[in-house]
Structure 1
Amino acid sequence: MNEKKIQLTSAEIASLWTTYMNDSMAKCVLGFMLKDIKDQEIKTIVQSAYNISIGHLEQLTAIFKKENFAIPTGFTDEDVNMNAPWLFSDIFCLTYVNHMAKVGMLAYSGFVSMSVRQDIRNDFIQYLTETATLYDQSTEVALTKGVNARPPYIEVPAETDYVDSKKYMSGLNPFSDKRPLNAVEISYLYMNVMTNSVGSKLCIAFAQTSPIKDVQEFMLRGKQISQKHIQIFVSKLLKDDIQTPQAPDVSVSNSTTKTFSDKLMMFHMSLISASGIGNYSTASSASQRSDLAINYERLSLEVARLAKSGADIMIKHNWLEQPPGVKDREKLAKSEEKG
Structure 2
Amino acid sequence: MPEKAPLTSSELGSLWLTYQEKTMLLRMLEYFIEKADDDQAKQILSSLHSELEVFVSKIISIYEQEGAVTPTGYTSQDVFKDAPKLYDNGFDIMFVRLLNEISMGLHALNLTMTFREDINILLTDLTALTQKYYRICSQYLLDKGLLVRAPFVSMPKSVEFVKEKDYLSASSLNPFTQKRTFNTVEVAHIHKGIESNLTGMQMILGFAQCAKDNEVKKFFFEGAELAKGIVKELSELMIQDDLPVPQTAGGNATKSTEAPFSDKLMMYCTSLFCSFSLGSTSLGTAFSLRNDLPAKMGIFTKDVFEYAHKGAKIMIKNGWMEEPPQMITRK
State whether TM-score is above 0.5: yes
Give the secondary-structure state (helix, strand or coil) at the position aligned to 2:249.
coil
In structure 1, the partner of 2:135 is 136
Corresponding position of 2:115: 116
Aligned positions, number = 329
Letter in 2 for 1:109: A
Cα offsets for 1:6-37 (capped at 9, x unmatched): 01111111110000000111111110010111
Question: Judging changes above 3 Å, is the alpha-carbon distance between structure 1 residues 7 and 248 closer, same or farther for their aligned structure 2 residues?
Answer: farther
Whether 1:326 aligns to 2:322 is no
CA distance in 2, matches of 1:136, 1:34: 19
Amino acid in structure 1 at the alignment position of 2:60 = T
Moved more, 189-198 or 320-329: 320-329
- Name the aligned partner's letter for residue 86 of structure 1: K
Q: Does 1:99 align with 2:98?
A: yes
1:165 shift after superposition: 0.9
TM-score by length of 1: 0.95
Residue 55 of structure 1: CA displacement?
A: 1.7
Which residue does 2:296 correspond to in 1? 295
Q: Is 2:15–2:59's contact at 8 Å kept on the other side of the alignment?
A: yes
* Aligned match of 2:69: 70
1:13: which partner in 2?
12
> What is the Cα deviation at residue 84 of structure 1?
0.7
Alpha-carbon distance, 1:307 to partner: 0.2
User: Aligned partners of 1:94, 1:264: CA distance in 2, in Å?
Assistant: 19
* Distance (whole Å) between structure 1 residues aligned to residue 261 and residue 288 of structure 2: 38
Code of the residue aligned with 2:276 in structure 1: it is S
Q: Percent identity?
A: 30
- Please give the alpha-carbon distance, in whole angstroms, between the structure 2 residues aligned to 1:309 and 1:105: 26
- Contact 1:42 1:90 survives alignment (8 Å): no
Letter in 2 for 1:14: G
1:233 Cα deviation after fit: 0.4
| Aligned counterparts of 2:131 and 2:2: Cα–Cα separation in 1 | 32
- Map 1:245-324 onto structure 2 (within 5 A): 245-324=246-325
CA displacement 1:173-217 (0-9 Å, x = unmatched): 333111100000000000000110111111111111112111011
Using the size of structure 2 for normalisation, the TM-score is: 0.97
Retained in 1: the 8 A contact 2:271–2:308? yes
- SS for the counterpart of 1:329 is coil
User: Where does residue 244 of structure 2 map in the other structure?
Assistant: 243
- Coordinate RMSD, CA, aligned: 1.1
State the match for 1:32 in structure 2: 31
- Contact in 2 for aligned 1:49/1:97 (Cα 8 Å): no
Question: Conserved in 2, the CA contact under 8 Å of 1:38 and 1:90?
Answer: no
1:202 corresponds to: 203
Once the 2 structures are TM-superposed, how far is the Cα of residue 44 of structure 1 from its aligned partner? 1.3
Take 2:38 and 2:3, find their aligned partners in 1: how far apart are those partners?
46
Q: Secondary structure at the match of 1:242?
A: coil
Query: In the alignment, is the contact (CA less than 8 A) between 1:193 and 1:233 conserved in 2?
Result: yes
Assess if the C-alpha contact under 8 Å between 2:195 and 2:246 holds in 1. Answer: no
Matching residue of 1:82: 81
CA distance in 2, matches of 1:141, 1:211: 33
What per-residue deviation string (whole Å, max 9, x for no partner) do you get for residues 90-146 of structure 1? 410111111111111111111112111111000100000011011111112222222
Q: Residues of 2 paired with 1:105 and 1:51: CA distance?
A: 19
Cα separation, 1, equivalents of 2:291 and 2:127: 34
Deviates more, 1:164-173 or 1:305-314: 164-173
Once the two structures are overlaid, the 10-residue window that deviates more, 16-25 or 172-181, is 172-181
Match of 1:337 in 2: none
Task: Give structure 2 stretches of 5+ with no counterpart.
Answer: none
- Counterpart of 1:183 in structure 2 is 184
Mapped contact 1:39–1:90 kept (Cα < 8 A): no
Map 1:205-220 to 2 at 5 A: 205-220=206-221
1:165 corresponds to 2:154: no
Tell me by how many angstroms 1:244 deviates.
Answer: 1.4
In the alignment, the residues of structure 2 paired with residue 3 and residue 44 of structure 1 have an alpha-carbon distance, to the nearest angstrom, of 40
Cα distance change, pair 189–142 in 1 and its aligned pair in 2 (3 A): same
> Does residue 149 of the first structure (1) align with residue 148 of the second (2)?
yes
Tell me which amino acid in the other structure corresponds to 1:148. L
Which residue of structure 2 lines up, in the alignment, with residue 46 of structure 1?
A: 45
